[in-house]
Chains A and B, each alone.
Chain A
Amino acid sequence: MNISMIKQRVTVAIADAPSIYFFMRKELRDLFLSLRAYLMATITFIGISFFMYIQTEIPFGTDPIVEMVIALLSLLGLFYAVAFSMDTIVSEKTLRTMPLIRSAPVSASSIVLGKFSAIVITWTGILSVSLLYFILGGRGLVGQVSWENLILGYASTILVVAAMGSASIFISSISSTVKSSALGSLSFLFGFMGLSVARQLFASFESVMDILDVFRNLSLIRYSSMITDELFASGTDAIWGVTGLLAYIVIFTLAAIAIVGLREGDLP
């Protein structure tokens, strides 16, 4: 790849920015004009309220409250990413709107990146509103908040959502129905979640454990816990966690763009 080719790619990418913004705005409008985003925010806040209320019975201290909220948000973020991404591309195919979209001068990357950024922005919006817990909660609820850990923890959940979202968008792009996309995304998620159970079940089988360890090293849930471990416990692998999640985002987003782009040839 020579310099002129790189220049050409960069120019195309810059020219693509308005299309990305257009798709992102369209997705955000769909999310915020329907009840979906608000329902997700409600579910998230019910979880946070519940956990915060529990700790008024058993005081874990100040930092554990932040840790508890981050752990909850990481888990909810995974489900949010699946729920909001699994039908992104496939619904355009099933509703037969994809040929219409592709008839306009827009690239595959603008479709995928627009939808992806809308999902990440919505989650960031929910997190931003949830900061009110820590601002208005008062000492009775949250005490002295360690803002640095809270913001870093929130950033880690955004990364988790972006990683899971990109994987779900990829699964959506290779699926032909919303059902198969949902099944694929949930299997992907529960597969990683089930790893710890499988590791306990097969703890005494070395060969099985070796195979499970390979999958565990690729698990985005593990990358997420690497970051939170360094923030709240005594881990030192946060940089590997961030690298792993970024790799997920890049690989799956590029793969989804490639798939959506490939389908272009199939269009009439």
Chain B
Amino acid sequence: MRKLLVLIAVFFMGVAAAQIQVQVGDPFTPGTAFGPVSIQITDPEPSLGGLGPKVDMDEEFDLAFALVVSNLTVEDLKLHILSFDEFNETYVPLEGEWIIESENTSYSSLKGPTATSGNFRLKIPKRGYYLLKIRGNFTINGRNEMVEVGDIVWGPRIRVIPDLGNSSWAVIIGMPVLPLVIGVIIRTFRRRETKKRRRGGPSPAWLEKIKEGESE
């Protein structure tokens, strides 16, 4: 009976083990979209979380992508950049003025299979945390289609932060120290005055003034 139970257990374990499939490689690469037209963001490299690259205000940087079209012809292909709007919790088109240059982002007709690459050159003048997305609109056989790559989890995300200059660092460090220094100076000065008075020296002018005021 015990042997039979062991055999049954081994059988079920074998069946369970057969269900486990070993996958080589990751089927999902962050920053990649699939379909008749697939886009992959290549720069900045898609990250698994993380804060994303830091860019200075008014600094130029690239949002590069690879574009693959499968075995069909795509018409009116146009790629746009969207940015996540936290207040409305939706993606909105990135300011047109911030895209200073674009390469291979628009095709009237593209015959597949083909692979190409392109980029958007951006210059963002406003500090902020930009969660970007590339959207491609195209038509296949007269039917409007859309493909998107990038989201708030997988990026790409860009931190637009101006560089801290020497004056900013001086403020960050100097401000907490300033009141302490003033306090210590006043305290030292006051102690010295007290010692002087105890030794029988003349009272300081400010003390005399207060005394006069109080006696009045």
Q: A residues bordering B, Cβ < 8 Å?
A: 32-35, 37-39, 41-42, 45-46, 48-49, 52-53, 56-62, 126, 129-130, 132-133, 136-141, 143
Q: Which of B129, B168, B172, B190 contacts A59 (CB 8 A)?
A: B129
A139 with B186, Cβ < 8 A, contacts A41-B179, A132-B171 known: no
Per-residue CB contact flags for chain B residues 46-57 toward chain A (1 = under 8 Å, else 0) read: 000001000001
Q: Which of B129, B175, B184 contacts A60 (CB 8 A)?
A: B129
Q: Which of A48, A58, A140 contacts B165 (CB 8 A)?
A: A140
A42 near B162: Cβ-Cβ < 8 Å: no
B172 near A53: Cβ-Cβ < 8 Å: yes
Known contacts A38-B183, A42-B183, then 19 further A-B pairs from the complex at CB < 8 Å, ordered by chain A residue:
A33-B190, A37-B183, A38-B179, A38-B180, A38-B182, A48-B175, A49-B176, A57-B161, A58-B129, A59-B129, A59-B159, A59-B161, A61-B129, A126-B179, A129-B178, A136-B167, A136-B171, A138-B168, A140-B168
A-B contact pairs, 11 of them (CB 8 A): A34-B187, A42-B176, A45-B175, A45-B176, A53-B172, A59-B161, A138-B167, A140-B164, A140-B165, A141-B171, A141-B172
Q: Determine whether B111 belongs to the interface, using a CB cutoff of 8 Å to chain A.
A: no
Q: Which of A33, A56, A61, A126 contacts B164 (CB 8 A)?
A: A56
A39 near B183: Cβ-Cβ < 8 Å: yes
**Interface size of B in residues (CB-CB distance below 8 Å):** 30
- A-B interface, 8 closest residue pairs, ranked by CB to CB distance from nearest: A38-B183, A41-B179, A45-B176, A140-B168, A140-B164, A141-B168, A38-B179, A45-B175
Q: Would you give the shortest CB distance from A173 to chain B, in whole angstroms?
A: 25
Q: How far is the CA of A169 from the CA of B105 in the complex (A)?
A: 68
Q: How far is the CA of A261 from the CA of B176 in the complex (A)?
A: 40
Q: Tell me what chain B mostly uses at the interface: helix, strand, loop, or mixed.
A: helix
B168 near A42: Cβ-Cβ < 8 Å: no
Q: How far is the CA of A165 from the CA of B190 in the complex (A)?
A: 28
Q: How far is the CA of A37 from the CA of B178 in the complex (A)?
A: 12
Q: Would you give the shortest CB distance from A76 to chain B, in whole angstroms?
A: 13
A45, A52, A143 pick with most chain B CB within 10 angstroms: A45
B residues near A60, Cβ cutoff 8 Å: 128-129
Q: Would you give the shortest CB distance from A101 to chain B, in whole angstroms?
A: 13
Contact residues of B between 78 and 121, Cβ < 8 Å to A: none
B residues near A141, Cβ cutoff 8 Å: 164, 168, 171-172
B residues near A48, Cβ cutoff 8 Å: 175
Q: How far is the CA of A149 from the CA of B117 in the complex (A)?
A: 46
A46 with B176, Cβ < 8 A, contacts A35-B187, A58-B51, A59-B159 known: yes
Q: Would you give the shortest CB distance from B162 to chain A, in whole angstroms?
A: 5
Residue of B nearest to A135 (CB): B171
Q: How far is the CA of A35 from the CA of B178 in the complex (A)?
A: 13
Contact residues of B between 185 and 205, Cβ < 8 Å to A: 186-187, 190
Q: How far is the CA of A130 from the CA of B187 in the complex (A)?
A: 22
Contact residues of B between 119 and 178, Cβ < 8 Å to A: 127-129, 159-165, 167-168, 170-173, 175-178
Q: Which of A61, A137, A138 contacts B127 (CB 8 A)?
A: A61
A58 with B159, Cβ < 8 A, contacts A38-B179, A39-B183, A49-B172 known: yes
A45 near B164: Cβ-Cβ < 8 Å: no
Q: How far is the CA of A129 from the CA of B181 in the complex (A)?
A: 14
A residues near B190, Cβ cutoff 8 Å: 33
Q: How far is the CA of A59 from the CA of B179 in the complex (A)?
A: 28
B residues near A130, Cβ cutoff 8 Å: 175
A residues near B186, Cβ cutoff 8 Å: 32-33, 38
A42 near B173: Cβ-Cβ < 8 Å: no
A residues near B184, Cβ cutoff 8 Å: 35, 38
Residue of A nearest to B159 (CB): A59
A139 with B171, Cβ < 8 A, contacts A38-B183, A59-B129, A61-B127 known: no
B129 near A137: Cβ-Cβ < 8 Å: no
Q: Would you give the shortest CB distance from A120 to chain B, in whole angstroms?
A: 18
Q: Would you give the shortest CB distance from B165 to chain A, in whole angstroms?
A: 5
B residues near A136, Cβ cutoff 8 Å: 167, 170-171
A59 near B127: Cβ-Cβ < 8 Å: yes
B57 near A132: Cβ-Cβ < 8 Å: no
Q: Would you give the shortest CB distance from B203 to chain A, in whole angstroms?
A: 15
B residues near A39, Cβ cutoff 8 Å: 179-180, 183
Q: How far is the CA of A81 from the CA of B160 in the complex (A)?
A: 38
